[in-house]
Structure 1
């Protein structure tokens, strides 16, 4: 017989006796179901189910089947509706229902396919053993709630404790899988590149199933206050899938980072005006102490996030700041403050040094050139003098002309008788050898000079 029929030859009275007396006689029949299951419309829902039965009756049974009832466990209740009868394999109100558990091993797990919103209700399981009569499974119902939107995934820890920079972060995201044959896909967003992710489908304490994704990474200060999201995408027998996500904010503790200085105004700064230097830094916690310094000064210049100066000529220079919290400190890069209308002392010193160095080099170069020039002139004069002296000496010895001196062979020269024939004497020196005769007129007279060479006695 099925879940809604009376046994053959059984009166209503006897049936009522059967209905109530076995309730006290067979208390071992009991089914265990999850109290509530959230299902997604257009998908399937799997109901984990186990039951208990007397061992002797389980051994003697030749055939075992189950049925599912909606709204009430009593099949005589007018509101009760048998949605599945395993004996006759009839289904009412659903496209398909399948018991996937092994009933002979007390497993009555069942899958309802293509559930819709109107399937939301309480469901009860009953088992039939032949040749033994039907027995109730006294149990609390399993409430199936069908919705168009699945539940959001759960991030654990949902309120992540603060983690130190370079510390290990472990996050888990779980999404219900009411239809294990079509489990949701889990994805992460806004996560570090170094993250390691694992994924698995596992049972919950009530034997329903969920998809678990576990992620591990090392925390960086850049991850602080970053929103990390876990997204679950559910497939279903419709044109579009259903997607839900859960977001959490990561908290990282770290010492000051990216410390730098901002100048206001950043344009030309004139003497007599005010300028504000602000020290900026990232840190967690962000309660920080700031200290100001100026290059060339050993003592701290000031304290606080901002430094305000009434500009004068001495305000020029290089400034830097230090930011500090409970986890450490960091010093900014130096920034130069230049007063309009005057070059900085360092730049001026550099220019003066360069000009002075070039001038000294040119001066020394000029002195060396002059010295070398003088030495060359001296050497030239000395050489010319030596050559001149040697030439004169040679000319005196060789080229001297003795005026009116004659050389004769064996006889003396005769004196002219005529006074008109008198010889005029003169002496001429030649720096160079002259081979030609030279004439010179003196007082209207012409003197003829000649070189006479002879051998013998003068």
Structure 2
């Protein structure tokens, strides 16, 4: 038994204490949605002398508009009814609660209740009736605003951090199945709690949360849904929340350096905040070396620009300061950071590039130095394979004017002395044999395998060659020394 029924019975009992008689308790009016089922709460009392006649077999009768017999629309003891209904309460317990199913416009009217029991218990309650009205569309639910547990006007501003409760109530136009209430919002849902309850005629839902700037100008909608047999019918109401909060400077605030320095400061606050620029801690305004402009993006968002000459950025600090009735905020701009961002220069990249450049220059210098050293060396080279040697004189001319002469090491000196003494001019030749010193006559083949190539320019006389003069006696001495050393007589090849 719900609370409403307890109240009705209590009132009947209370009346019976003073004057126990035939009394009934009915709602004065019931409004139902077309196609729904409606419950009529009903409780009655009788004179005490008839209590013994009230049994489980008692009958309940409903009249429409008057109490004439012809206007009976429902009798619990009959199977033929003008309307589809059912007495769900127990008449022995003096509970006459009744359900009217699938109501429509034919159900509109006043209804009277009659009780029929055993013996002489027959009574029609003509003094009290219930009016039933049927509507085609549901009423919009009612939404109310509570701030810190106090009811507020729907357009009242709410301070950030306040406890907010939105209450939605709708009439129970359909008793079965019951109506439902749902919430929706145009902003991101804050953390909230939901409470629901239902009394005799209303369904109530409470949405509780803490106000934040995200809910400013957000619209909260409460929707009631009635489930019918063929389709659902809905209705809704909404409330727009107005949140006040201290200003906050956006993280997008920054500076950009080109020919001049331009700083941007964007702030959000409600009421709309004021904004000032400070250089070295002092407020500034438009002048010949700086300019300030503002742009209002919305009722709460303000954007301001300041343009500065570069001379100011070397000696001044720039700060954005904003205030409104609920607080203030400030932001200091860092020049080094903005200089790097505006020019796109990365210090580490510059250092690495410089190091690589120095390394490339050093390698290039080293290569140049090596080639320069090689170029200064004389073209005199000695190549040997085993005991063979090649000698190039630094008096050689062009390749096509040269003549190559191959002679045995032992015969070279003699041939040069006797035939071409000038071919050894300005040359120093050491024919030290790398063979073993104890070689005998059998080593002639190894000795004769050593050759030297002497380049002799054609058509050049001794007088034009320059250098030292040829000494025949010295050459003869050298030839005789080599013969004595080797122990092998000179043989021309």
TM-score by length of 2: 0.55
Report matched runs for 1:95-114 at 5 Å.
96-114=84-102
Distance 2:161 2:362 in 1: 66
In the alignment, structure 1 residue 244 sits paired with structure 2 residue 235: yes
Q: Is the 8 A contact 2:276 2:322 kept in 1?
A: yes
The residue number in structure 2 matching 1:81 is 71
TM-score in terms of structure 1 length = 0.58
- CA change 1:55–1:335 in 2 (3 A) is farther
What is residue 473 of structure 2 aligned with on the other side? 448
Is residue 2:277 matched to residue 1:292? yes
Which residues in structure 2 correspond to 1:257-272 (within 5 Å)?
A: 257=248, 259=250
- The answer as to 2:301 corresponding to 1:301 is no
| Conserved? CA contact 1:290–1:324, under 8 Å | yes
Closer, same or farther in 2 for the Cα pair 1:131/1:199, shift >3 Å?
farther
Q: Give the aligned partner of residue 81 of structure 2.
A: 91
| 8 A contact 2:159–2:244 mirrored in 1 | yes
Query: CA, structure 1 residues 179+311, in 2 after alignment: closer, same or farther (shift >3 Å)?
Result: closer
Q: Could you tell me how far apart the structure 2 residues matched to 1:316 and 1:345 are?
A: 15
Any gaps of 5 or more consecutive residues in structure 1? 1-24, 337-342, 382-428
SS of the equivalent of 1:448 reads: helix
2:23 maps to what in 1?
30
Are the equivalent residues in 2 in contact too, given 1:293–1:302 (CA < 8 A)?
no
Listed as ranges, the gaps of 5+ residues in structure 2 are: 1-17, 147-152, 287-291, 295-303, 378-425, 433-461, 464-468, 485-493
Measure how far apart 1:150 and its partner are. 1.2
1:216-255 correspondence to structure 2 within 5 Å: 216-238=208-230, 240-255=231-246
d(CA) in 1 for partners of 2:325 and 2:145? 26
2:39 to 46, 60, 71: 46
Superposed CA deviations along residues 376-435 of structure 1, whole A, max 9, x for unmatched, are 99xx99xxxxxxxxxxxxxxxxxxxxxxxxxxxxxxxxxxxxxxxxxxxxxxx9977689
Name the CA distance, whole Å, in 2 between partners of 1:300 and 1:183.
64
Q: Deviations over 1:40-67 (max 9, x none)?
A: 0111111111112234422343442222
CA, structure 1 residues 199+124, in 2 after alignment: closer, same or farther (shift >3 Å)? farther
Partner in structure 1 of residue 145 of structure 2: 157
Cα distance in 2 for residues equivalent to 1:302 and 1:291: 9
Q: 1:231·1:243 contact (CA, 8 Å) conserved in 2?
A: yes
Instruction: Establish whether residue 64 from structure 1 lines up as the match of residue 58 from structure 2.
Output: yes
Q: Distance in 1 between matches of 2:48 and 2:268?
A: 70
After TM superposition, the structure 1 = structure 2 runs for residues 179-194 of structure 1, keeping only pairs within 5 Å, are: 179-190=174-185, 192-193=188-189
Q: How far off its partner does 1:325 sit?
A: 2.8
Is residue 177 from structure 1 mapped to residue 167 from structure 2 by the alignment?
A: no
Question: 1:448: Cα distance to partner?
Answer: 2.0
Trace 1:353-372 onto structure 2 (pairs within 5 A): 358=354, 362=358
Cα offset, 1:277, TM superposition: 7.8
Give the match for residue 416 of structure 1: none
Q: Do the aligned residues in 1 keep the contact of 2:59 with 2:77 (CA within 8 Å)? A: yes
Aligned residue pairs total 350
Name whichever of 317-326 and 146-155 sits farther off: 317-326
Which structure is higher in helix share?
2
What secondary structure does 1:57 align onto?
A: helix
Q: Distance in 2 between matches of 1:350 and 1:98?
A: 86
